[in-house]
Amino acid sequence: MPPDVRPITDDELATMLEVDRRGFGMAPRTPDRADSWVRAETDRTQCAFERGTMVGCSRAYTFELTMPGGTRVPVAGVSSVAVQPTHRRRGLLTAMIGALHDDARARGEVASVLTASESIIYKRFGYGTATWRLGCSLAHSYARLARRVDDPGRVRLVHRGEADVLYREVYEQVRLGRAGMVSRPDSWWPEVFWVTEGGRAFFDAVHEDADGRADGYVAYEIKGEWYRGVAEREMVVWDFQATNPTARAALWGFVFGVDLVAKITATNLPPDEPLRLMLADPRQLRTDFFNDSLWLLPLDSAALLEARTYTAAGQLTIEVVDPVGSRSRLSLEGGPDGARCRADVRNVSAALTCSCSTLGALILGGNSWATFAAAGEVDEHAAGAVARADAMFAAAPAPATLTWF
């Protein structure tokens, strides 16, 4: 018997949180605010029930995604996807994901996006890795900038009440200037960003320009203990946002100047983070990981391709194969000033063929068509089509998703 999949009622929220907790193996979670992130948009949940008992959960949030060129498009931000350990391999995930996609299409959203707990799960549903995230670390003893920062502004520590307003303003500026960024809804801030467990040491610093306007910030935590009189502690940079190079350099200089830490770790930097080139000794910066960040499933491929600009002008016809084997052909003509894309064209031969997952990975310009072709993920039917696609789809700055959801 197929599972019954439906949105929850408000009375079922506690049950959904418990199903989510069991699926991820987490500590109990009780939202203690009326504006909690987990209370938002419960009409966008899709939970699986067996004989009236919830055995799986999933949900989506209403996001905007920044495309190359700055256009923002409506997308579904999928989150809290979990199946009870007692009910794995029974089709619950497939049913819930299908319901989320149907709901997103009904709302006119052109893509579904998520960050994955495991990188093996979502390609089979048509998602591709559209952005990547860099994790790195640096011994505090080597944390020195190679050049003096000529900064007419200042960095100052702030309380969270003040930071709440300033951070939102800065984040809005950052997300509009980089493809792959998603909006942070009002409900995101108080429940996701500001919730802290007891005993943890969080701090907030804002950079202001010469006119006193906030143009960057860093939110960080100090972890660890003193050992035999030495502070063997770690500074963890959780959220680093800067709208310009001066703010970025000044904030890294501030981070390096924090005392009584042995190691600095950053967990979500963009692939083109320039920090290594800013250091006096670049070799000392350790790359801890370079992982998938935003997974993207095109729900309306033509609308997505038409929403972005292209670095080089050109024309391509792309055949896309969806997860069940159905094929569609897209005729794209684009350039720096915009694009036109027609779906289901039949009288033009395809220059390239790829899966829906591969198109999702390539559509923001965060990956190379040539690399995917070398991996066997793109078939080239016309000479030079891969090179033309790379010239068109290239994006700068590198697409990144400098948030979590």
Assigned domain for 127 exists: no
Residues 314 and 243 in one domain: no
Which of 130, 108, 124 shows the shortest CA–CA distance to 300? 108
CATH of the domain at 386: 3.30.1050.10
Domain boundary residue among 48, 76, 109? Answer: 109
pLDDT in tens, the chain (405 residues): 678 999 999 999 999 999 999 999 988 877 767 778 999 999 999 999 999 999 999 999 999 999 999 999 999 999 999 999 999 888 999 999 999 999 999 999 999 999 999 999 999 999 999 999 999 999 999 999 999 999 999 999 999 889 999 999 999 999 999 999 999 999 999 878 877 667 889 999 999 999 999 999 999 999 999 888 888 999 999 999 999 999 999 999 999 999 999 999 999 999 999 999 999 999 999 999 999 999 999 999 999 999 999 999 999 999 999 998 999 999 999 999 999 999 988 888 999 999 999 999 999 999 999 999 999 999 999 999 999 999 999 999 999 999 999
Assigned domain for 326 exists: yes
Residues 274 and 305 in one domain: no
Cα(128)–Cα(111) distance, rounded to whole angstroms? 11
Which of 283, 253, 279 shows the shortest CA–CA distance to 146? 279
Domain boundary residue among 274, 291, 308? Answer: 291
Q: What is the 3-state secondary structure (H, E, C) of 44-102?
A: HECEEEECCEEEEEEEEEEEEEECCCCCEEEEEEEEEEEECHHHCCCCHHHHHHHHHHH
Structural domain boundaries enclosing 339: 300-393
Residues 250 and 359 in one domain: no
Cα(123)–Cα(162) distance, rounded to whole angstroms? 41
CATH of the domain at 17: 3.40.630.30
Three-state DSSP state, 139: strand
The single-letter DSSP state of residue 242 is E
User: How is residue 238 written in tokens?
Assistant: 């959780």
Three-state DSSP state, 124: helix
**Cβ atoms of 273 and 397 closer than 8 Å:** no
Residues 173 and 97 in one domain: no
Residues 247 and 367 in one domain: no
Query: Taking the complete model, does pTM exceed 0.85, yes or no?
Result: yes
**Cβ atoms of 56 and 97 closer than 8 Å:** no
Residues 273 and 185 in one domain: yes
Residues 189 and 282 in one domain: yes
How many domains is the chain partitioned into structurally? 3
Cα(88)–Cα(264) distance, rounded to whole angstroms? 39
Which of 366, 370, 364 shows the shortest CA–CA distance to 388? 370
Residues 85 and 147 in one domain: no
**Cβ atoms of 331 and 320 closer than 8 Å:** no
Count of Cβ atoms closer than 10 Å to residue 150 Cβ: 8
Instruction: Find where tokens 């063929």 sit.
Output: 353
Domain boundary residue among 237, 271, 291? Answer: 291
214 membership: H or E segment, kind and range: strand 214-227
Instruction: Find where tokens 């080597």 sit.
Output: 142
Residues 249 and 179 in one domain: yes
One-letter amino acid identity for 310? Y
Residues 245 and 367 in one domain: no
Assigned domain for 118 exists: no
Residues 211 and 305 in one domain: no
Integer CA distances (angstroms), 53 to 87, 102, 250, in order: 12, 23, 53
Assigned domain for 120 exists: no
Residue 116, phi then psi, degrees to nearest 5:
-100, 140
**Cβ atoms of 60 and 104 closer than 8 Å:** yes
Assigned domain for 405 exists: no
Count of Cβ atoms closer than 10 Å to residue 359 Cβ: 26
Assigned domain for 116 exists: no
User: How is residue 224 written in tokens?
Assistant: 């660890």
Assigned domain for 398 exists: no
Residue 98, phi then psi, degrees to nearest 5:
-60, -40
Residues 81 and 143 in one domain: no
Query: 122 in the Ramachandran plot: left (φ > 0), alpha (ψ -120 to 50) or beta?
Result: alpha
Cα(373)–Cα(382) distance, rounded to whole angstroms? 13
One-letter amino acid identity for 391? A
Assigned domain for 148 exists: yes
